[in-house]
Amino acid sequence: MSHGRCFFMPQLRTGDLLFNAVVLQQRLVDRTTTHEALEAVRGGVGGNARDMFGHNVSGVSTHLFGDPNHADQILKQHTFFGVFQHALSEQMVRIWSFDLKAGRYQSSLRSLGASATDFGALTTTSLRSCRQCIACDLEHQGFATWKLVHQMSAIDRCPDHGSPLDLESRPIGGSHARIWPLRLPGEDRVSRAGRVYLAPSDGYAAYLRLWQRVLTDELPWLKPSAWIQSMQAAVLRLGGIDAATRAIESDVLRAWGAPIGDISVALSLDGRVNPINEELLLRSRPKDIARRMIMHGSLDRLGLDLFGAGEGDQRALVLLGSTDYCPRQLPDTSVDGLLQFAEQFGLPLASVNLGDIDAGFTQVAQAMGMHHESLRRFAAALQLEVLQGLMDSLRFGAESWVACEVARRHKRGGVGARRTLNFAPA
C-alpha cells in the first residue's frame, strides 16, 4: 500500500544520495517491502533499479515533500545531475532538468554525450562509504547516509577525509542492474584487501578539493564556453598540442607521483590512452568532467589562465571571441543552430569547429573524436533549415558531410520528408 508518498522522512543533507530515502522509508514504516519502499519514494517507475539521476523527480518531490516544487533541489543536491550540470551550458542545464522533471529519463545519456556503457562507468556498481564520514554521521544524526560523490568512479578516496573508500552493498541484480540491498553505510562492510588505491599526493589532494565543492559551489570554468577557451589558451601558450600535452603530462607525473595512464585506469577515466591530449583537442564531453578537474590542477600549477567567471555560456559565443576564429561578417544563424543542436546532442566540444570543416563524415568524425555513425545520426536529426542554411553559405563542398546528408534526404523522397527532433522545452 504505497500509493502515495512518504509521510515522514528525516532531512537528507546536501550530498546525500537519493537512495537513502528508500532505505529510510523501509526502516520507518512497518512491514514495508523493498518494492513498496521504492514505490513510496519514486512511484511505479524504473523497476527495482536504484537510479542515480532522478528518475521521475517531480514524483519523488511530491512523495517526499508533498510538493513537486522541490524537484530542482533534489536534482542538484541528491543526484548526479548536481555534479554534471557544471559541464553543460545554462541552456542545456534547463533542457536537461525540464526533461527529467517531465519523466524523460533517457535525456541524461544525451545530455552527457554518453553511451549506455560510458554511463555505467561513471558510477561504481557497489555502493561505497568512508569510515570517518560514517563516524561523523552517527555522532551528528544517529545514522549514516550514502554520499553522492563517494559513488563516482572518478575518485577512490573521500574528498573530506582523504581515506580510501570502502566498497560495500554489492548489487544484488548482477553487476549492471545496480539493484542494491536496502542498507545504510557501515552495515555491510566489504574488506579493502586486494584493492589498489591511488597514493595520496599533492595533485590528488587538489583534485579532491574540487570534488568537495562540486555540489555546493558554482564552478563556471567547467562550462563548455570557458573550457574551450582555457584549452585553446593552453595550446597557444605551451606551443601547440604536442608540446602542451607533454608539459601537462610531466606536471601530472610530478604532482601525482604517477603517470596519467595509471591515474586514468584507477579513476576509470575515458580516453585512457591519452586523456590530456583528448582534452586539448576538445574531444571532451560533459561526462568527462573528471578529466577537466585533473587538468584544472595542472593549468593552475603551470600558471596558465582558466577562463570562467563572467563568460557567456553559449558555445556559439566562442566563435566570435576566441583566439582561433575570426569574427564573421554577418550573424550566421545556420551555424548558431548547428552548434546549439550539437550541444543538445552531447557532441564533443570539438563540434565548435563543425561550421568550418568542409569534409566527409569519416574525416569530420575523426577530427572530433567520435564514431562516424554517431555523426551520421546527428546529421540525420538536424533541422532541414539548418542544413539548407549551411549549404547556402557556400562553405561546404559537394563531398562534405552537409552535402551528403542533403543528398541522402533527397534520395529518400524529398528533402522536406524528414522533420526533426526538437529538444527544446515547449
Cα separation of 83 and 216, whole Å? 10
* Site for Zn ion, rule CB under 5 A: 130, 132-133, 158, 160-161
Q: How far is the CB of 163 from Zn ion (least distance, A)?
A: 6
Alpha helices in 240-370 (DSSP H): 241-256, 260-266, 275-280, 289-301, 315-321, 333-344, 361-368
Amino acid at site 135? A
Q: How far is the CB of 82 from Zn ion (least distance, A)?
A: 18
Q: How far is the CB of 150 from Zn ion (least distance, A)?
A: 8
Q: Which is nearer to Zn ion, 211 or 307 (CB)?
A: 211
- DSSP class of residue 273 equals T
Q: Which is nearer to Zn ion, 12 or 403 (CB)?
A: 12
Q: How far is the CB of 417 from Zn ion (least distance, A)?
A: 57
Q: Which is nearer to Zn ion, 135 or 417 (CB)?
A: 135
Which positions ≥6 away from 111 have C-beta within 8 Å? 84, 88, 92, 95, 96, 99, 286, 346
Cα separation of 257 and 197, whole Å? 13
Q: Which is nearer to Zn ion, 160 or 358 (CB)?
A: 160
57 touches 103 (CB < 8 A): no
Q: How far is the CB of 14 from Zn ion (least distance, A)?
A: 15
166-168 and 127-129: which strand pairing?
antiparallel
Q: Which is nearer to Zn ion, 161 or 301 (CB)?
A: 161
Q: How far is the CB of 83 from Zn ion (least distance, A)?
A: 17
Cα separation of 43 and 3, whole Å? 8
Q: Which is nearer to Zn ion, 158 or 280 (CB)?
A: 158
Q: Residue 290's closest CA among 80, 127, 134? A: 80
Cα separation of 416 and 278, whole Å? 37
* Alpha carbons within 13 A on the beta-carbon side of 385: 9
Q: Which is nearer to Zn ion, 130 or 354 (CB)?
A: 130
Q: Which is nearer to Zn ion, 133 or 233 (CB)?
A: 133
Q: How far is the CB of 124 from Zn ion (least distance, A)?
A: 16
Q: Residue 240's closest CA among 284, 270, 277? A: 277
Cα separation of 84 and 293, whole Å? 12
306 touches 275 (CB < 8 A): no
Q: How far is the CB of 184 from Zn ion (least distance, A)?
A: 15
The full DSSP string for 403-417 is HHHHHHHHHTT-GGG
Q: How far is the CB of 156 from Zn ion (least distance, A)?
A: 12
211 touches 293 (CB < 8 A): yes
381 touches 396 (CB < 8 A): no
Q: CB 142: neighbour CB atoms within 10 A?
A: 8
Q: How far is the CB of 382 from Zn ion (least distance, A)?
A: 46
Q: Which is nearer to Zn ion, 208 or 247 (CB)?
A: 208
302 touches 251 (CB < 8 A): yes
Q: Which is nearer to Zn ion, 34 or 126 (CB)?
A: 126
Length of the chain: 426
